[in-house]
Structure formats: structure tokens, C-alpha cells
Amino acid sequence: MRRVIIGTAGHIDHGKTSLVKALTGIDADRLKEEKERGITIDIGFADLTIGDTHFSIVDVPGHERFVKNMLAGAHGIDLVMLVVAADEGVMPQTREHFEICRLLEVKAGLVVITKIDMVDAEFIELVKADVADYCAGSFLDGAPILTVSSKTGEGIEDLRKAIAKLAAKVESRDDTAVARLPIDRVFTIRGFGTVVTGTLIAGRIQVGDEMELLPSNQRRTRVRGIQVHGRATQEARAGERTAINLQGVDVSEIDRGQVLAPAGRLQAGSMLDVRLDLIEAAPRPLRTRARVRLHIGTAEVLARVVLLGRAELAPGSGGFAQLRLESPALALPGDHFIIRSYSPSMTIGGGLIVDPHPQKHRARDGAKVVELLENLVAADEVERIILYVETAGERGMSQAAIAARSGAPDDLIKLASEAMTKSRRAVAASNNPLLLISRQAFDDLSRRVRALLKDFHQKMPLESGIAREEVRDRLFDGLNPEIFKAVVSGLSERNEAVAEKDLLRLATHRVALSQEEQAAKDHIAGIFSDAALQPITLEEAISRTGPQFGIDSGRAQRFAQMLINSGDLVKVADLVFHRSALDSLRETLQRYKSQHGSRIDVGIFKDLTGVSRKYAIPLLEYMDRQRVTRRIGDAREIL
């Protein structure tokens, strides 16, 4: 069954609620005060099935004092019924509601002239002509104009047929998208607990799903039960008026304006990059840094408007801006919003969310930012994700960050990832979990690593290379470690750099020693080779080398470090051994195993090697780490 959301719009006392009741049999006024005063104060709801289409009808208040409530109900509607009373015609709230629907980019609708039982036929024709003239050039240009009397029922059946005909052209909502339920009501039902209601604008929610209340980013809950238009069900789908019974959360923790979404999937933000249009009826130009009331979904948030590339926006014009919110809100690309002046409160504009998690822009970057935002507006979902990754620069973007910024489901993120790596616009620094970095940022980091290595080799020609951790600290501080690994791996694959143990060097770098220096280096190696398993300290080896070859202790120290870096010398705890001595020890242990079995203890090890306990313990622990032996209690097993 198709699901379509219809919203009413129009001036106070033009018969919106009576029309909904005539259509559906449901009185959308639920509050006692509404019954007593005879006016709609808050949004109300009804539903109607015509053929294979189920309509959720949102009835909004018409009084100017309750436009805030009207905006909470107007989000996400597919069709609008612009209601105009035959005895009054187009009035101030007709105009404001109409502007709101236009700013929210409602695609289609119709005009319903009510109370035709109160005027004659000639006057009705005048009102129809006036309404048609008012709608000219708008999304309701040429839309059906129907005349009805909710009191007598005249025209109601024709209205049903017109609604059904319009609904056939409404694009189906995506129930494979990430679920979002902007909350417009919260209450408690005895025996069930906390219940929230709203119009499910995307995705699906099932009983048992773990959800999160945003923008708090803290309160998680589970779906205990679901009702769609008063009927219990196991699943709610996009386009349905939904009530969710939540587990483990108190009614005092929830307010209108919060959004129910899958746990850990989306994030609220405090800045929004937007395309903003100011209505022609705005009383004055909108200056940058003006304080406004932002209405998005069912939420109202105070914000500052920072215009991009200009100082002010004239009535009837549009441009890009960054909204800096005074409290976080949840938004996704493509969401629509309304702004109202701070005081007096009146609708002055609205627009489209382009980037829900931007960086704070600098004034001098205005032209560059505007170009990016224009590209984002023109992009499809895959291209938008690619642009987000490119703008993230060297920080890259994880799967979670892409999901929160784009609102895209996993299969779409995978598609975008494959597209951008295949076109070489990005590099997958990690695939599980996914971490993407733009090709430009990746190549720039690679260039900076090569430059650092070249500078190091020029200053320290006798060093085999620079410590990996030093490179990471100097160039990759604050970045995901996987990006560092990917850059080093890429340099190695292209034979531009070599990673040797804990060092990095350019592939072209070779330590060039003079004959005298090489002899000194070999002499140090020989000292440790001769010492075998009776090690001497580095300091002693250096002191025995420097005077003999006429080199200072600093250079001799570097030769010793070169031998350690190359693996000729091996550090074992605080001791240093020649590699040949450790290789010989492995052979000795294997011979013992073949002749006497695999069990060995410290005493046997001392007898085999002739070393004291001072050296035996660190050597055995080293062999454990090398998986030559394995400790079992106070003894060891030769593997």
C-alpha cells in the first residue's frame, strides 16, 4: 500500500479541522482548550484510506501565535491542502503558511475553498479567481481548486477523488534509508510507559530495535511496541504516522524536537551549511550574524546566520550561509528548514541543508566555500559522499563519520567507496573498518614524508634512517594511525621508501662510509662477535674503538646504532649481543632437544652456555619472545 502525508495550511477559522473531520470522520482537535475555544492550538492527526493509498493527514493551527506548532507538523509532507474560506479569501496566515510550504519545497497540492454554504455562487467564483491569481507562478500554479462545505458535505467526495489522483504522482518514500522519527508528542500510557509519536520520514522501525534519542547523543532505548494510526504492528515504514512505545526511558527525558534514530548511526551538530532563500515579504534585508529562530523537523533552535560571500541578503534573494546553532540539532543533507526573525517572530525565509557537519568557515574562504556548496547541491548521493571525503582532507573519513554526515545506508557508502577508489579520487587507508582519505591529501602526506626523509638523510648521512615514531609524531599527529600505515605502505610499494624494523629511509639512501669509518664499524661488530654470550656494554665497545681509529665517541655511537638497526647487533633487555651468538644459541638448544628432550631449566641453560644467571634470565626471556622456548612454571620447553 502506498503511503502519502497530507498537510493542511491556511488562516485561522477557515475550517481546516472541520474539513479533516468531513474527509475522515476524525476530529483532529484533541486538547480540552481547543474544544472550549473552538480553535486549533497544536497539530492534530487523522488518517484516510482511498483505494491502495493510505493518507496520513496533519492538521495545523492557523493562528499566528501558533505558527511554531504549525511548523512542527509541516515537515515532511508530500501534499498540501491550502484551505481558504469562501467568506474571507486569502488572509495573512494563508500567505505565511503558503510561503512555508514553498520554502519546504512541497511538490504538489490543491486548494480547497471551504464554507461555500455561507456565500452565493458568484462570490465563490470571485474567491476562486483570487486564489488562482495568488498561486500563479508557484508550485500550486494550475493545481485543482475545489469548493466544499464541511457542514453539508457538498464537494467532499470530489475532494477525495482529487486527493487520490494527486497521490498517484507522489514519489514513494525511501524505506531503505536510515530511519528518522522527528518527535512531535510524548506522553505516558498506564501499563505501557513512555510513548512518542511522529511522522516517520525515512526508513523502517521494528519492535526490538535499539534506538537513540538525538540530539542528546546519550540516551539509548529499545522499541517495546509500535502503532501505526492506532493499530498495533511489528514495523513502521516511511510515510506512516507512528507511535513508539519506548523501553527504559522516562517521559521527562524527551521533548518535542528530538529525533528517534538507530543507535550510534547519526550525530547532531552545532553548525549547518545551507542554501538560504529570503521571502519577498521579509521586512528588511538579513544581515550576516543575525540571530534567528531555526525550525527543522519538529525542533526550534536559536541560531546565528553567517552569510557566505556577502554581507546581507535582500528580500526575495538567496545565497549560501552557515548557521551556527546555540544548541545542537540533527539534520541531514536535503532536509528543509524555516527561519523566523528572532523578535518579533515572523517567517522570513528557509532553505536546504547542504552539509550538516561543516568546518567553521573563514571570511577569506567565502568564494571557495560557495563553489563547494554549489557542487554539493548539484551532486547525487554518491558524488556527495565523495565530496565530503575530499573536504575532510588528511583527517580522512571513517564509515561512521560518512554515515553521520551523509545519512547514507551502508550499501550506498560501499558503492561510493568503490567509485572513488576506482577513479583514484580516494585511497582506502583501511577496509575493515572502512577509512577513506582523498587522493590529494594522501599524496600530499606522502610528499611530506619523502621531504622529511630527504632532509634527515642530508643532515644525518651516517644514520640508516629516521625512527618511524618520530615521523608519525611530526607529520601524523592527531590523525588516524591507519593513515600513517597506509602512507608508509604506499611509499614502500612504489619503492620510494623502505621500512626497516623501527626505521624509515628513502629507497635511494645508502650509508656511505670511508675506509676508516667502515673499519671502525667492523671493529665494533667484531668486539661483540668475539664476546659471544659474555656481552660487554656499548660504552666499553665504543671506548675501545674511538682512539684506535681516530674517531670521536659520537661517531662511534652512530656506527653501533647502525649495527643495531641492521640487525647485526641485538638488544636483549639492557644487554647487547652479536646476531651470530644468538643464532649459535638457537642451534645449541635444538641439539640439546634432540639429545636430551625439550625440557630445560635455568641451571641446565647455564651449563650449556657458560653464562651466569645475570645473563641467563634475559637470554631465556628473549628466546621465549622469539618462540624458541616456552616457559612452563619454573622450567621451559624448547619448541
Cis peptide before 433 (omega within 30 of 0): yes
Lowest-confidence pick of 46-55, 69-78, 485-494: 69-78
SS3 173: coil
Cα–Cα distances (Å) from 409 to 203, 396, 426, in that order, read 10, 19, 20
| Start-end of H helices in 359-511 | 366-378, 381-392, 399-406, 410-422, 439-459, 468-475, 481-493
Residues 519 and 517: their CA atoms lie apart, in Å, by 5
Q: Summarize pLDDT for 84-98 with one digit per residue, the tens.
A: 999 888 888 888 888
* CA dihedral sign of residues 535, 541, 543, 548: positive
Residue ending a domain, among 369, 395, 413, is 369
Q: Are 12 and 63 in contact (CB under 8 A)?
A: yes
In a domain, residue 104? The reply is: yes
Confidence grade of residue 376 (pLDDT, cut at 50, 70, 90): very high
Asked which of 58-72, 244-258, 563-577, 599-613 is least confident by mean pLDDT, the reply is 58-72
- 518-541 residues labelled b (16+ CB within 10 A) or e (exposed): eebbbbbbebbbebbbebeebeeb
The verdict on 190 and 159 lying in the same domain is no
- 157 and 13 share one domain: yes
Q: Residue 460: helix, strand or coil by DSSP?
A: coil
Mean pLDDT for 183-195 is 86
- What mean pLDDT is reported for the chain? 87
| pLDDT 10s digits, 505-520 | 899 887 767 677 778 7
281 and 251 in a single domain? The answer is no
* CA separation, residue 560 to residues 138, 148, 529 (Å): 82, 98, 13
User: Do 345 and 434 reside in the same domain of the chain?
Assistant: no
CA 121 to chain centre: 57
Please indicate, yes or no, whether residues 202 and 90 belong to a single structural domain of this protein.
Answer: no
Q: Tell me, what's the pLDDT at 547?
A: 62
Residue with cell 519577498: 280
The answer on pLDDT for 502 being more than 60 is yes
For residue 27, what is its C-alpha cell? 476530529
Angle at 522 between CA 576 and CA 537, to 5 degrees: 25
Write down the pLDDT at residue 39. 46
Mean pLDDT of 484-500: 93
Report which secondary-structure segment, H or E, holds 548. helix 538-549
Rounded to an integer, what distance in angstroms lies between the CA atom of residue 238 and that of residue 241? 9
Residue 3 DSSP SS3: strand
For position 550, what pLDDT does the model report? 62
Beta strands in 137-180 (DSSP E): 145-147
Question: CA dist 629 to 440, 563, 583, 634, Å?
Answer: 48, 26, 14, 13
Last residue of a domain, one of 229, 247, 262: 262
Q: Is residue 118 part of a domain?
A: yes
Q: Which domain holds residue 186?
A: 181-262
- Residue 103 shares a structural domain with residue 10: yes
**How many CA atoms lie less than 13 Å away from 56 in the CB half-sphere?**
28
Mark whether 220 and 354 lie in a shared domain: no
**What's the CA gap between 7 and 75, in Å, rounded?**
9
Per-residue pLDDT at 69 exceeds 60: no
Residues 149 and 9 in one domain: yes
Q: pLDDT tens-digit profile of 445-473?
A: 999 999 999 999 888 777 778 888 999 99
pLDDT at position 74, please?
61
pLDDT at 72: 58
| Cβ neighbours of residue 223 closer than 8 Å, sequence gap 6 or more | 205, 206, 207, 208, 209, 211, 244, 245, 246, 247
Question: What pLDDT was estimated at residue 161?
Answer: 92
Residue 111, φ and ψ in degrees, nearest 5: -110, 135
- When pLDDT is cut at 50, 70 and 90, the band that residue 184 belongs to is confident
Quick one: average pLDDT of 404-424? 93
Q: What is the average per-residue pLDDT within 523-537?
A: 84
H helix or E strand, kind and range, residue 83 = strand 79-85
φ, ψ of residue 204 in degrees (nearest 5): -135, 150
HEC string for 150-195: CCCCCCHHHHHHHHHHHHCCCCCCCCCCCCEEEEEEEEEECCCEEE
Local confidence band at 385 (pLDDT 50, 70, 90 cut-offs): very high
> Does the pLDDT at position 584 exceed 80?
yes
β-strands 299-307, 318-329 pairing: antiparallel
Whole-number percent of the chain with pLDDT over 70: 93
CA angle at residue 313 from 310 to 314, to 5 degrees?
Answer: 135
Q: Tell me if 522 is assigned to some domain.
A: no
Residue 554, CA atoms < 13 Å, CB-side half-sphere: 2
What is the pLDDT at residue 297? 87
Q: Show the CA angle centred on residue 352, arms to residues 243 and 10, nearest 5°.
A: 60
What is the DSSP track for 336-385?
EEEEEESSS--EEEEEEEEESSPPPPPGGGHHHHHHHHHHHHH--HHHHH
Q: How crowded is residue 573: how many other Cβ atoms within 10 Å of its Cβ? A: 11
**Cβ contact 254:197 at 8 Å:** no
Looking at per-residue pLDDT, the higher value among 551 and 74 belongs to 551
Q: What is the mean pLDDT of residues 369-392?
A: 93
- How confident is the model at residue 66, as a pLDDT? 41
Q: Grid coordinates in use for 503?
A: 626505521
Assigned domain for 583 exists: yes
Q: Is the pLDDT of residue 180 over 90?
A: yes
Contact 272, 353 (CB under 8 A): yes
3-state secondary structure of 431: strand
Length of the chain: 639
Three-state SS at 493: helix
Instruction: Give yes or no: residues 542 and 631 share one domain.
Output: yes
Tell me the backbone φ, ψ of residue 291, rounded to 5 degrees: -90, 130
Looking at residue 129, what is its pLDDT?
92
Task: Note whether 258 and 289 are same-domain residues.
Answer: no
pLDDT in tens, 190-208: 878 899 988 888 899 999 9
Residue 525 covered by a domain: no
Q: What SS3 string covers 285-301? A: CEECCEEEEEEECCEEE
Cβ atoms of 323 and 317 within 8 Å: the answer is: no
pTM of the model: 0.78
Distance between CA 524 and CA 542 in Å, rounded? 7
Say whether pLDDT at 68 is over 60: no
Whichever domain contains 601, its CATH number is 1.10.10.10
DSSP H or E stretch at residue 560: helix 553-566
Predicted local distance difference test score (pLDDT) of residue 36: 43
Confidence of residue 437 (pLDDT cuts 50, 70, 90): very high
Cα first-last separation, the chain: 68
The interaxial angle of helices 399-406 and 410-422, nearest 10 deg, is 110
Assess if residue 407 is contained within a domain. Answer: yes
**Would you say residue 350 lies in a domain?**
yes
pLDDT attached to residue 546: 62
| pLDDT of residue 636 exceeding 50 | yes
Name which of 271, 289, 280 is nearest 318 in CA terms.
Answer: 280
pLDDT at 521: 79
Q: Quick one: which of 338, 347, 351, 350 has its CA closest to 93?
A: 347
CA quadruple 224, 228, 234, 235: dihedral sign:
negative
The pair phi, psi for residue 420, each rounded to 5°, is -75, -30
Q: Which residue has the cell 537513540?
A: 212
The enclosing domain of 59 has a CATH number of: 3.40.50.300
Residue 34: what pLDDT? 40
CATH code, domain with 196: 2.40.30.10
Instruction: Inform me whether the pLDDT recorded for 30 exceeds 60.
Output: no
Lookup: cell for 270: 552545532
Note the pLDDT of residue 404: 93
Number of domains, the chain:
5
Residue type for position 471: V
Q: Residue 605 pLDDT more than 70? A: yes
> Is 175 inside a domain boundary?
no
Whether residues 24 and 142 share a domain: the answer is yes
Instruction: Band the pLDDT of 47: cuts 50, 70, 90.
Output: confident
> Is it the case that residue 213 has pLDDT exceeding 80?
yes
Residues of the chain with pLDDT > 90: what percent?
Answer: 46
Handedness of CA 355, 368, 280, 144 (dihedral sign): negative
- Domain boundary among the residues 262, 278, 307 is at 262
Q: What's the CA gap between 94 and 87, in Å, rounded?
A: 14
H/E segment holding residue 5? strand 2-10
- Whole-number Å distance between alpha carbons of 189 and 609: 81
User: Given this model, what pLDDT does residue 42 score?
Assistant: 60
Do both 245 and 309 map to the same domain? no
